[in-house]
Amino acid sequence: MTDISHWFKNVPQFTRFWLTATLGVSIIGRFGMIPPRYLPLYYEPFVHGLQLWRPVTALFFYPLSPSTGFHFMLNCYFLYNYSLRLETNHYKTSPADYLFLLMFNWICCVISGLTFGIPVLMDPMVLSVLYVWCQLNKEVTVNFWFGTRFKAMYLPWVLAGINVILLGGGFLELLGILIGHLYFFLKFKYPIDLGGPSLLDTPAFLKSFYPDLTGGVHGFGVPPANQRPAQEQRPAGNRFFGNSWGAGNVLGR
């Protein structure tokens, strides 16, 4: 228990809250402590019934069952692993910028959910954050199933393909890729590579709550090419249920 407590306290704040809320709300819905029908995002009760909590609970809720449990655990693993990497590396000195990334992607997921009738937002939200990390570390080599290795820029597409083959889906993953690309394009590609105005500046009120930390290299701006931590520059495997998922730190480190 001491080791678990120590690990939990060392998880950065936004990743810790996101993971804890996801586990908590999903378990609450699974055991009926809150009727699960009140947690997903549905247009009629949200708009006409003024059930304004649904966009939030739809982000954290996942309908748990024997058939969905493994997919949920994989989503939690990707959530923890890649959100933690972004928060502790690229956004280490600018927590408000990372919070704004999460808020922007979440709002895009809510709009997409209302437009396309998607009641649960976990899949596209996790893929959108993973996509941003992969674009910022596109040349990093990641290990995948059966010893396959490829550059990080291809990881979101591999995951989408796996879901198409195994689950017959893929739309939610493609939506997450699109949302992640929208953020990356507006924040990095458009103002830096194309010379356009900066359209995703973090609001001042977020900076007042979470001011930039002084010292070190600022983690927000031009995608870093030569200042990635050593553990993200060398191929490494993460073991999860006997399979190798991504590169970098072992889960829990």
Predicted local distance difference test score (pLDDT) of residue 150: 86
Task: Give the separation between CA 15 and CA 84, rounded to whole angstroms.
Answer: 6
Task: Give the separation between CA 17 and CA 208, rounded to whole angstroms.
Answer: 20
Whether 250 maps to a domain, the answer reads: no
Predicted local distance difference test score (pLDDT) of residue 215: 55
Q: What is the dihedral of CA 116, 120, 122, 127, to 10 degrees?
A: -20
Whether 167 maps to a domain, the answer reads: yes
pLDDT in tens, 135-151: 999 999 888 777 788 89
Question: What is the separation, in whole angstroms, between the first and last Cα of the chain?
Answer: 16
Predicted local distance difference test score (pLDDT) of residue 116: 96
Domain span at residue 239? 69-244
Predicted local distance difference test score (pLDDT) of residue 1: 63
Check if the beta carbon of residue 220 is closer than 8 Å to that of residue 97. yes
Whether 55 maps to a domain, the answer reads: no
Whether 86 maps to a domain, the answer reads: yes
Predicted local distance difference test score (pLDDT) of residue 50: 93
Whether 19 maps to a domain, the answer reads: no
Give the strand pairing for 141-143 and 243-244.
unpaired
Predicted local distance difference test score (pLDDT) of residue 27: 94
pLDDT beneath 70, residues of the chain: 1, 215-253
Three-state DSSP class for 244?
strand
Task: Give the separation between CA 213 and CA 39, rounded to whole angstroms.
Answer: 36
pLDDT in tens, 61-102: 999 988 888 889 999 999 999 999 999 999 999 999 999 999
Whether 49 maps to a domain, the answer reads: no
Whether 184 maps to a domain, the answer reads: yes
Q: Count Cα atoms within 13 angstroms, Cβ side, for 189.
A: 10
Predicted local distance difference test score (pLDDT) of residue 169: 76
Nearest to 91 by CA among 251, 221, 229: 221
Whether 8 maps to a domain, the answer reads: no
Looking at the structure of the chain, the number of domains it has is 1
